């Protein structure tokens, strides 16, 4: 019998396969409620912390994700956030949209004056594939690259970047800090009150990885009290119900988790999820298996 695949946020016990997104909360209760028919979940996304993988494993349900096909798109959004937060693009856009621009005296020393990124130091936390592409893009702005990673990269992958085996020693040297780690127990709240104390006051924090890597209270407090210059965020805890305080901060540029939102990338992600399911029912190895 041909397997039936459901592409939806909801599942019924009539289906053999499910395609999920990050907005689908497949927790332990979800898995406990299944009748045993579901055999595979093709998740559209790299991160899968919305899926209780231990429960999936216990139920003998395969889970796949869609790594690598979104690397360039996420790197592009990272550079966008660096530029937007540095040049106060959110404030500038609102100034024009509200028609308040005409009411401002054209003081060239103050009006929407931001920071250049050319020649500044970018610290990358997590120098995997996306981190490396971000570094390549940043080099076009003559930025100096430093990075913290579990392991030092080979020289041909470093491309002149400076490795720090300790995050605490890297942060004080950064004008910009960009986070590119998966959501794990080790990376949960890696940006917290203690690490933020090490950021220079003029620095900018960028996050296009996962919301769980940031202690919201600590970051918001740092932004409110100008302990850092700004932040550019595409991911949040408890998406899409982000902490509303972020929306009140002029020095925080926010996006609705659109790092992979290009026609080319979303198509590639969707097709990889579908092909993982096709491989499963063809009794072939999955292209990107999680559990």
Residue 11: what pLDDT? 57
| CB contact at 8 A, 139 and 145 | yes
Catalytic, 239? Answer yes
The CB-side HSE value for 193 (13 A sphere, CA atoms) comes to 4
Tokens read off for 131:
């981190």
* Contacts of residue 55, Cβ cutoff 8 Å, sequence gap at least 6: 27, 28, 30, 31, 32
Residue 9: what pLDDT? 42
Catalytic annotation, pick one of 43, 88, 180, 257: 257
Catalytic, 257? Answer yes
Q: What is the mean pLDDT of the chain?
A: 94
Catalytic annotation, pick one of 139, 239, 266, 289: 239
Structure letter (DSSP) for residue 271: H
The CB-side HSE value for 283 (13 A sphere, CA atoms) comes to 0
Percent of the chain with pLDDT over 90: 88
Distance CA 231, CA 228 (A): 8
- Cis peptide leading into residue 240 (ω within 30°): yes
Structure letter (DSSP) for residue 17: E
Residue 10: what pLDDT? 53
pLDDT one-digit tens code per residue, 237-277 = 999 999 999 999 999 999 999 999 999 999 999 999 999 99
Residues of the chain with CATH 3.40.50.720: 5-68+262-281, 71-254
CATH for the stretch 71-254: 3.40.50.720
Does pTM top 0.85 for this prediction? Answer: yes
Which residues, listed in sequence order, are joined to residue 9 by a DSSP beta bridge?
A: none
pLDDT one-digit tens code per residue, 1-11 = 566 555 444 55
For residue 93, the SS3 value is helix
**Taking residues 25-30, what's their average pLDDT?**
92
pLDDT one-digit tens code per residue, 66-124 = 999 999 999 999 999 999 999 999 999 999 999 988 877 777 777 889 999 999 999 99
Question: For the domain with range 5-68+262-281, which CATH number is right: 3.40.50.720, 3.30.460.80, 3.40.50.300, 3.40.50.2000?
Answer: 3.40.50.720
């Amino acid at each position: 019998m041909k397997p039936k695949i459901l592409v939806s946020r909801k599942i019924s016990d009539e289906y053999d396969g499910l395609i999920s997104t990050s907005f689908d909360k497949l927790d332990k209760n979800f898995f406990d409620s299944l009748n045993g028919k579901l055999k595979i979940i093709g998740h559209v996304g790299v991160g899968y912390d919305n899926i209780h993988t231990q429960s999936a494993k216990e139920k003998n349900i395969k889970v796949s994700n869609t790594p690598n096909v979104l690397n360039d798109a996420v790197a592009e959004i990272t550079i966008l956030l660096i530029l937007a937060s540095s040049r106060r693009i959110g404030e500038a856009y609102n100034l024009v949209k509200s028609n308040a621009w005409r009411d401002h005296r054209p003081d060239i020393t103050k009006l929407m004056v931001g920071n250049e990124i050319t020649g500044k130091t970018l610290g990358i936390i997590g120098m995997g594939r996306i981190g490396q592409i971000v570094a390549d893009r940043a080099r076009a702005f003559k930025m100096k690259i430093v990075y913290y990673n579990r392991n030092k990269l080979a020289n041909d992958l470093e491309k002149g970047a400076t490795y720090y085996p300790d995050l605490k020693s890297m942060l004080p040297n950064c004008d910009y800090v960009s986070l590119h780690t998966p959501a794990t127990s080790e990376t949960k709240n890696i940006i917290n009150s203690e690490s933020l104390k090490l950021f220079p006051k003029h620095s900018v924090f960028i996050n296009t990885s996962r919301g769980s890597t940031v202690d919201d209270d600590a970051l918001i407090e740092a932004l409110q009290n100008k302990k850092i210059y700004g932040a550019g965020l595409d991911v949040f805890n408890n998406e899409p119900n982000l902490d509303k305080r972020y929306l009140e901060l002029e020095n925080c540029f926010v996006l609705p988790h659109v790092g992979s939102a290009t026609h080319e990338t979303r198509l590639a992600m969707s097709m990889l999820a579908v092909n993982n399911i096709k491989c499963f029912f063809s009794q072939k190895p999955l292209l990107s298996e999680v559990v």
